[in-house]
Amino acid sequence: MTKKPILFYLSAGHGGGDPGAVSGKFVEADMARTVMDACYKELLAHKGRTYKVAYPEKDGSGMSLAAHVADMARYKAKGYRVVAIDAHFNAGGGDGDEVWVWKGVITKSRVGKTLANLIIAELKKAGQNTRDVKYTKDLYFLKGVGVPVLVEYGFVDNKTDRKGFDTKKELQSYGKATARALIRYWKKYR
């Protein structure tokens, strides 16, 4: 039996009318979109790919969490193995990235942790330190089907942490790092 094709589902957290965390000129929704735009382009440019990519917010419109979860379910119903990334930037003065994974169903948690560790490894190569993999049932996006993870790329209100992603080029490097992690995941599970 042939495995169902992987579909990478990309979300730039917040957007529309919700800016997310804001620290001076640094706006989470805009930063997350820059990261996901670069990730999307990198995934599409990968030669020999058999995976599909969905990025419903590429026009900057923003979507509700419920709409994302429903959208992922529609892709699953079409026969795809959904692997979803929701991009965010933290606030609260911390330092480093963290990747949130569903806590509960063992298979979903295990595969989610594998993806989270791939993302963390690539972000380390891009210069970011990590707060590691976190588990929760409280983040609505993680209730989506397949393997959803939520990536907090860093803290917008920490000037030291922000030095690693305070330019468009650095934000794009995080998007490319995320794409490399997704491609590594695809190579492992295709």
Mean pLDDT value across residues 42-58: 95
In our burial notation (b when 16+ CB lie closer than 10 A, e otherwise), range 147-173 reads: bbbbbbbbbbbbeebbebbbeeebbbb
- Token pair recorded at residue 31: 């930063």
The stretch 58-68 carries a mean pLDDT of 86
Tell whether pTM > 0.85: yes
Q: For 5, which DSSP code? A: P
pLDDT at 108: 64
Which tens digits make up the pLDDT trace of 101-145? 988 765 567 889 999 999 999 999 999 999 989 988 888 888 888
Question: Domain segments of the chain: what residues?
Answer: 6-189
Say what the pLDDT of residue 17 is.
Answer: 83
Pick the CATH number of 6-189 from 2.60.40.10, 3.40.630.40, 3.40.50.1100, 3.30.470.20: 3.40.630.40
Tokens 């419903």 locate to 56
2: pLDDT strictly greater than 70? no
**Per-residue pLDDT, 27:** 95
- DSSP bridge partners of 54: 9
pLDDT score, position 72: 94
Q: What is the mean pLDDT of residues 83-106?
A: 90
Residue 48 CB burial class (10 angstroms; 0-12, 13-18, ≥19): exposed
The answer, yes or no, to whether residue 25 has pLDDT greater than 60, is: yes
Query: pLDDT (tens digit, 9 = 90+) per residue, 139-158?
Result: 888 888 889 999 999 999 99
More confident residue, 165 or 14: 165
Dist CA 31 CA 183 (whole Å): 22
